[in-house]
Structure 1
Amino acid sequence: MSKISQTLLYSLFYLLLGNTLLAQSSFSKKVLEQSQLDFVNLGFGMFIHYGMPTFMEQDWSDPNAPLDLFKSPKLNADQWAKAAKSANMTYGCLTTKHHSGFPIWATKTTDYNVMNTPLHRDVVKEFTDAFRKNGLRVMLYYSILDMHQGIRPHTITKAHIQLIKDQLTELLTQYGEIDALVIDGWDAPWSRISYDDVPFDDIYYLVKSLQPKCLLMDLNSAKYPGDALFYTDIKSYEQGAGQFISKEHNKLPAMACLPLQQNWFWKTSFPTAPVKDVKELVEKFVIPYNNAYCNFMLNVAPNSDGLMDQNALDALKTIGTLYKNKPNYSTLPSYQAPIVDHNIAKQVASYSSWGEDMNIMDFANDDNFGSAWVSNPQAKKEVWYELDFERSKAFNSVVITEGKDNPSHYSLSYLKGGKWHSISATPVQQGRIKIFRFDEVLGEKLRFNIHPEKGSAVINEIGVYQERR
């Protein structure tokens, strides 16, 4: 090899190494915390549900709806942006693909997309351009559940996972800086697509590698407690589904969303049907939520022409007279980094000291926060719980979700080479959740010696993770 070739090879190597290190350093706890603070301080924004359901009187459209239905002759994203500004909103968030699986951008991943409809326009590009032109930030919504592609429970393949990665790569490389992705249809009780079926950590770190400042918000509050950031950068509440934030107790960066109209997507009744009471929206939700570290996202659905109805425009102007000041936090309360990695404790063999009646040991690692293992109050001398991984597993964090009024103290140990070794870790407590983070260990079993503060230990769920750090 010539010296020139060697020099070029080394230059390429160090360029690639430098880019890798830059990518690693740019995604950091500091970057994440700043993005979370910036999001909370945005205060109030517009959710925009627009897609194939707009033309079908449904919030979930036929996953094989004819492409020629999609006609919006007056589509005007600039009107949407100006409407958001009139309400003193600071950003917009557009549904790029809803559950039925119709992308409204120029994707190369499927022919079933907006570019093959009579509209034949990249709606995501028009949205991002219009909102930025009007001084507003941009966020995107994306559904993991995709009925057209068959990305649904019990049918997911490697090709499906690659399609999700390819679509998210398009969205995060073709439309400039995206402040946040709102993810839906993933590990929700109704979608039943788990974070193992579509690996959350792979998707999360892909997003961060493409745009380190982009927040990933999964609408998973129906399942995960509000005391910690489980599989999301922002604790997100879909109020229309009965998920309400605690204004008095919330200490996490949060988002709550609600439609201005009766549904998320436009219906033919909307132009004449009353919208929600805007004074109540501002005074009962937006301002109090802002005061509880929560950004409020109000959905306004464009009609089949691609415009917002006059009654919605009028309501937004009125909101602008009521909502004047967005939050201005310099810091947020202390909280632990999100839990985003694979839970190796889920549904493995578990054992325990004497339990109380039917609340047996497997309830503590069944991936259901509504069930619990409860120690028998008569077992006062020794209370313990154990997970058996069957073979050695590496892990560096444990998360325990306790009963609301049943705190306990824990000492952790792991079995390696036939001997038990203590884990030196002091938990950080957030509400009823205790988070242990420590240096990596390798063990076949994990044991908890437990000292209940009251009569019984109550453990709703234990998670064990090998976090990427």
Structure 2
Amino acid sequence: MKPLKLSLLTALAFSFLTGMAQNKTAKPLPQLQQEFVDLAFGMFIHYNIPTYMEDDWADPDASPSIFNPRKLNTDQWAEAAKSANMSYGCLTTKHHSGFAIWDTKTTPYNVMNSPLKRDVVKEYANSFRKQGLKVMLYYSILDTHHKLRPGQITPEHIRMVKAQLTELLTNYGEIYALIIDGWDAPWSRISYNDVPFEEIYRLIKSIQPNCLVMDLNAAKYPAEALFYTDIKSYEQGAGQHISKESNRLPALSCLPINQNWFWKPSFPTTPVKDAGKLVNENLVPFNQAYCNFILNVAPNRDGLIDDNAVAALKEIGRLYKRPSTLPQLPAFDAPVISPNLAKGAAANSSWSNDMALMDFANDDDFSTNWHSHGSIKEPWLEIDLKKETGFNTIVITENRANVSAYTLEYRVNNQWYPLAEGSNAARIKVHRFSRVWGDRVRIKFRSYKRPPAIGEFGIYNERR
């Protein structure tokens, strides 16, 4: 990847725009989350260089010359969304192979070097706003063209990500939300340390304070809390299904109207998903479960939505009317966005059950657990940070809700001090407090139905 070079003028403009954004009035995050849920229904638009290939994951060396729509018409997309009674759109600005469909200064691998030579993001945003629809953008952290993938991430990659997001958030008006993909997913393996989540999150909020940040990470993180996202997201095709009965978080569920996310030659002659089922099995019940439904509609190689998809959207609009009021979200904890200081640290505990050792309590894998041995009446678990470290948040994730009373302590100069007395019976227990410094953190379990089983014990030093 060529070094990113920002001119003095560009840097000054970035500084000016960021300063302006910081002076805007930021709405409280719970208000933004409720407003997102109230949007109810939107259009996902997977349109990028994979449209012109057979695979959704495109060849990272595919030439920009193949991106050549003859009839690109984003007004048609917006009109189709409006006909379905959708309230917003979300366009894939850059997918996993790194091709940017906006006029970016960060890389030559972009739409301005294709035969089209038009800023698709700009045209999309203008078209959707003309129809009174809100504008969201999708952006992939994983970037195989620029080799932004595990084991190869450099400071230059981080600068590119920040510069690209800055362009998208300063050049295209109000962006209601960013849907981010390819970050800390089991299939991408790019951690929130490799590409620092909190830095990126703060950058987004500094430019557009009311822009929601959604990371598609439900494959890894449990459903009961917001980890590294403002909105809990579920990709149905990947087996991620929201519980319509128990969900208590602002959520998004996504599904393509066709069999794939990006357009395939079979689409025009293959039936799309049934409009009635989409409404009755997705839209209506999701809306009652604090969940916004986003339906993917993939434009074809001419840059138009196929007739069968257009007809289905009109039928959805006939069957579905967005409710005037939707359920109000219950209280829930703010998202965890900081690095986990406990990740990979040395762990100690009272006797473990069989092979379910204490190391599984902080291995950054919620599917593994430390189990206390059944003979231990007062079990404990401890994380050794090796040196005195500042922290102000602890999150305990059980295998299933079980522990009802516990004590949190921290150690300074070989002396243990009380931190919190917990009586939270939920599966995920979030404790936020004034920053303390310590080299070890310990939980003692005082009341439980079964021997404690801890999936993750997280320690964070949040910026506040």
The answer to whether the 8 Å contact 2:231/2:252 transfers is yes
* Paired position in structure 1 for 2:109: 112
* Paired position in structure 2 for 1:12: none
Q: Aligned-pair distance for 1:409?
A: 2.0
The answer to whether the 8 Å contact 1:31/1:212 transfers is no
Q: 1:428 to 1:105 in 2, by over 3 A?
A: farther
Q: 2:427 aligns with which of 432, 444, 449?
A: 432
The answer to whether the 8 Å contact 2:396/2:430 transfers is yes
Q: 1:273 aligns with which of 270, 273, 285?
A: 270
- Residue 218 (str. 1) matches residue 215 (str. 2): yes
The answer to whether the 8 Å contact 1:290/1:327 transfers is no
Q: Aligned-pair distance for 1:141?
A: 0.2
* Paired position in structure 2 for 1:392: 388
Q: 2:379 aligns with which of 379, 383, 396?
A: 383
Higher mean C-alpha displacement, 408-417 vs 218-227: 408-417
* Paired position in structure 2 for 1:446: 441
The answer to whether the 8 Å contact 1:425/1:436 transfers is no
Q: Aligned-pair distance for 1:455?
A: 3.2
Residue 382 of structure 2 aligns to which amino acid in structure 1?
E
C-alpha separation between the residues in 1 aligned to 2:260 and 2:216? 17
Q: Aligned-pair distance for 1:25?
A: 8.6
Q: CA RMSD in A?
A: 1.7
C-alpha separation between the residues in 1 aligned to 2:153 and 2:185? 16
Q: Aligned-pair distance for 1:257?
A: 0.3
The answer to whether the 8 Å contact 1:425/1:438 transfers is no
Q: 1:21 to 1:308 in 2, by over 3 A?
A: closer
C-alpha separation between the residues in 1 aligned to 2:84 and 2:20? 42
The answer to whether the 8 Å contact 1:42/1:327 transfers is no
Q: Aligned-pair distance for 1:425?
A: 5.7
Q: Aligned-pair distance for 1:450?
A: 1.0
* Paired position in structure 2 for 1:258: 255
* Paired position in structure 2 for 1:406: 402
Q: Aligned-pair distance for 1:454?
A: 1.8
The answer to whether the 8 Å contact 1:75/1:305 transfers is yes
The answer to whether the 8 Å contact 2:288/2:327 transfers is no
The answer to whether the 8 Å contact 2:21/2:207 transfers is no
**Which deviations, in whole Å up to 9, do the C-alpha atoms of 1:401-450 show, x marking residues without a partner?**
11214324221111112211111365766x41000111100001011111
C-alpha separation between the residues in 1 aligned to 2:315 and 2:423? 48
Q: Map 1:48-447; keep pairs closer than 5 Å.
A: 48-326=45-323, 328-329=325-326, 331-380=328-377, 382-424=378-420, 426=422, 431-447=426-442
Q: Aligned-pair distance for 1:452?
A: 4.0
Q: Aligned-pair distance for 1:451?
A: 2.0
Q: 1:119 to 1:440 in 2, by over 3 A?
A: same
C-alpha separation between the residues in 2 aligned to 1:427 and 1:209? 36
* Paired position in structure 2 for 1:6: none
Q: Aligned-pair distance for 1:58?
A: 1.3
C-alpha separation between the residues in 1 aligned to 2:65 and 2:326? 48
Aligned to 2:280, the other structure's residue is in SS state helix
C-alpha separation between the residues in 2 aligned to 1:449 and 1:437? 18
Q: 1:205 to 1:425 in 2, by over 3 A?
A: farther
Consecutive unaligned residues in structure 2, runs of 5 or more: 1-14
Residue 463 of structure 1 aligns to which amino acid in structure 2?
G
Residue 149 of structure 2 aligns to which amino acid in structure 1?
R
Q: 1:355 to 1:95 in 2, by over 3 A?
A: same
The answer to whether the 8 Å contact 1:427/1:434 transfers is no
C-alpha separation between the residues in 1 aligned to 2:360 and 2:81? 46
C-alpha separation between the residues in 2 aligned to 1:187 and 1:452? 34
Q: Aligned-pair distance for 1:136?
A: 0.5
C-alpha separation between the residues in 1 aligned to 2:24 and 2:309? 44
Residue 23 of structure 1 aligns to which amino acid in structure 2?
Q
Q: 1:113 to 1:20 in 2, by over 3 A?
A: closer
Q: Aligned-pair distance for 1:200?
A: 0.5
* Paired position in structure 1 for 2:22: 23
TM-score under structure 1 length normalisation = 0.93
C-alpha separation between the residues in 2 aligned to 1:82 and 1:400? 47
The answer to whether the 8 Å contact 2:406/2:421 transfers is no
C-alpha separation between the residues in 1 aligned to 2:327 and 2:351? 49
Residue 65 of structure 2 aligns to which amino acid in structure 1?
D
Aligned to 1:258, the other structure's residue is in SS state strand
Q: 1:172 to 1:246 in 2, by over 3 A?
A: same
**Which deviations, in whole Å up to 9, do the C-alpha atoms of 1:194-247 show, x marking residues without a partner?**
000001000000000010000000000000000000100000001111100000
**Which deviations, in whole Å up to 9, do the C-alpha atoms of 1:143-169 show, x marking residues without a partner?**
000000000011100100110000000
C-alpha separation between the residues in 1 aligned to 2:63 and 2:419? 59
C-alpha separation between the residues in 2 aligned to 1:424 and 1:227? 21
C-alpha separation between the residues in 2 aligned to 1:400 and 1:327? 38
Q: 1:171 to 1:21 in 2, by over 3 A?
A: closer
C-alpha separation between the residues in 2 aligned to 1:151 and 1:389? 30
Q: Aligned-pair distance for 1:348?
A: 0.1
The answer to whether the 8 Å contact 1:425/1:437 transfers is no
The answer to whether the 8 Å contact 2:21/2:209 transfers is no
Q: Aligned-pair distance for 1:73?
A: 1.2
